[in-house]
Amino acid sequence: MSSNPVTDNSATASEQTDMSGIGKSRAAIDRDLKAIIADVLGLDADDVNEFTPETGLFGDLPELDSMAVAGLLTEMEDRLDIVIEDDDVDGEMLETYGGLLAFAEAKIIEG
Amino acid sequence: MLTHWPCPQPSGKISEEMLAKFDHPGRPCVLVIPPLFDEHNKFRRQIIEIMRLLDDLGIGSAMPDLPGWNESTAPLAQQSVGAWQAAMGAAANHCEATHVLAFRAGVMFAPPSLPGWAYAPQTGAKQLRSMIRAQVIAAREAGADESSDTLMQSARESGMILAGWDLGAQLVRELEQADEVSLGSLAEITQSELGGRGLWLRAEPDEDPEQAAALATLVAEELVAP
């Protein structure tokens, strides 16, 4: 039996266009996460759309202070339908956009 | 438009609380219930703008302070969800409200007998979780090894000041238990229906005239519909 999620045939019609086989495609998570960042930090959506995996977040974005982190995590829980535990929150997760995106993907798959 | 209303307290006493209202006798009157805590502060300006727009459309509205809210001098630490629900019911009677427009976690206090709308409804439990999280992050930044679980346990037992809000143990327990949004007879209005960004996410109080107009129009259209 393969543990590869690509072999999961239970996906709904809309999910079958998703090559990764998880509930939400990487592109969809990327789009949602960028929208959340733009909304929570009050950034221009066009600027956030230019984020790359290497774009620095905590420590680089002046808008992302510790209170904004709390708001960002809560909004991610709401809009991505995930649960984020205290221990999930570390420097690596918030250091770059790529790190946060990978975290969100892992949580969605886990969920 | 700023007046007072006699708010009954669980002790049987009456406290005078502030009431923001626009009167249109003989027309519908919308009871406006703001979000809780920080979101109330961030949203209040926008809510008043929505009430002004409803006023222009000939619709009355009333937004009462409850004990511990906004201008109230009652200590927040002594308040409870149950007392706030009873007080909001009394405010609805006092204002002769015909409808409800509840924002975010304010939906918890909507009198069940009134129809109306719930904008971007949020549970008390999630509101509390967000405040606990902010506290944990602040504590960790200060070098303290704090966890959500231990903070929650302590808050449940003896209350806690969270993100600057002095919450009593009873209020903490009631918010934690309010883990589902109960819309009752209210219609949900989502953020995407209004366009733009949720103003509760802003770090500072803000306003968005286009969103205010979209919400006021939506309410007014349903009030005049047959």
pLDDT level of residue A48 (50, 70, 90 thresholds) = very high
A26/chain B closest Cα distance in angstroms: 22
pTM of the predicted protein model:
0.87
Distance CA A28, CA A47 (A): 18
A1 found inside a domain: no
Task: List residues of B whose CB lies inside 8 A of any A CB.
Answer: 126, 129-130, 133-134, 136-138, 141, 147-149, 163, 197-198, 201-203
Mapped onto helix, strand or coil, the DSSP state of residue B211 is helix
In single-letter form, the type of residue at position A95 comes to E
**CA-based nearest residue in chain B for residue A41:** B202
Position A31 in a domain: yes
- Whole-number pLDDT of residue A63: 85
What average pLDDT does the structure give for chain B?
A: 93
pLDDT band for A23, please (50, 70, 90 cuts). low
> Would you place residue A13 in the very low, low, confident or very high pLDDT band (cuts 50, 70, 90)?
very low
Are B141 and A39 within 8 A, CB to CB?
no
Q: Work out the angle between the directed axes of helices B124-141 and A66-80 (0-180°, nearest 10).
A: 140
Nearest to B201 among A39, A69, A89 (CB): A39
Find which of B104, B130, B141 to mutate to test the A interface (most A CBs within 10 Å of its CB). B130
Q: What mean pLDDT is reported for chain A?
A: 81
Q: Give me the torsion for CA of B64, B69, B73, B74, rounded to 10°.
A: 100
A15 pLDDT higher than 70: no
Of B130, B197, B202, the CB nearest to A74: B130
Q: Could A66 and B141 be called an inter-chain contact, meaning their C-beta atoms sit closer than 8 Å? A: yes
Q: Is A51 helix (H, G, I), strand (E, B) or coil?
A: coil
Q: Residues of chain A whose C-beta is under 8 A from some C-beta in B?
A: 38-40, 42, 63, 66-71, 73-75, 77-78, 85-86, 89
Alpha helices in B108-180 (DSSP H): 124-141, 148-158, 169-177
Q: Would the CA dihedral through A20, A24, A26, A28 be positive or negative?
A: positive
Domain around A38? 22-110
Phi and psi for A65 in degrees, rounded to 5?
-95, -175
Residue A16 lies in a domain: no
Q: What is the pLDDT of residue A22?
A: 53
Contact status, residue B103 vs residue B117, Cβ threshold 8 Å: no
Residue A51 resides in a domain: yes
B55 contacts: CB under 8 Å, gap ≥ 6: B22, B24, B61
A10 located within any domain: no
What is d(CA A3, CA A7) in angstroms, rounded to the nearest whole number?
Answer: 8
| Chain A, nearest residue to B137 by Cα | A66
**Do the domain assignments include residue A3?**
no
**Count of beta carbons in the 10 Å neighbourhood of residue A86:** 17
Cβ atoms of B136 and B148 closer than 8 Å: yes
Mean pLDDT of A38-53: 91
ipTM of the complex: 0.70
Query: Is the CB of A69 less than 8 angstroms away from the CB of B137?
Result: yes
Structural domains counted in chain A: 1
| Per-residue model confidence (pLDDT) at position B24 | 95
DSSP classification of residue A57: -
**Rounded to 5 degrees, what angle do the CA atoms B135, B139, B140 make?**
120
Q: What is the pLDDT of residue B46?
A: 94
**Residues of chain B whose pLDDT is less than 70?**
225-226
Q: Is residue A11 part of a domain?
A: no
CA distance B37 to B44: 11
In this structure, are residues B171 and B121 in contact, taking their beta carbons and an 8 Å threshold? no
Axis-axis angle for helices A97-110, A26-41 (nearest 10): 120
* Contact between chains at A71 and B136 (C-beta distance less than 8 A): no
Neighbour tally for B163: CB within 10 Å: 16
Instruction: Name residues whose C-beta falls within 8 Å of residue B42's C-beta, 6 or more positions apart in sequence.
Output: B199, B200, B202, B204, B205, B206
Contact B137 A66 (CB under 8 A): yes
Q: How far apart are CA A42 and CA B197, in angstroms?
A: 9
Mutate to test the interface with B, among A43, A86, A87, A93 (most CBs of B within 10 A): A86
Distance from CA of A68 to the nearest CA of B (A): 8
| Residue A13 covered by a domain | no
Q: What is the pLDDT of residues A100-111, one digit of tens each?
A: 999 999 999 987
**CB contacts < 8 A (A, B):** 41
DSSP string, B41-109: HHHHHHHHHHHHHHHHTT-EEEEE--TTSTT--S-GGG--HHHHHHHHHHHHHHHT-SEEEEEGGGGGG
CATH of the domain at A83: 1.10.1200.10
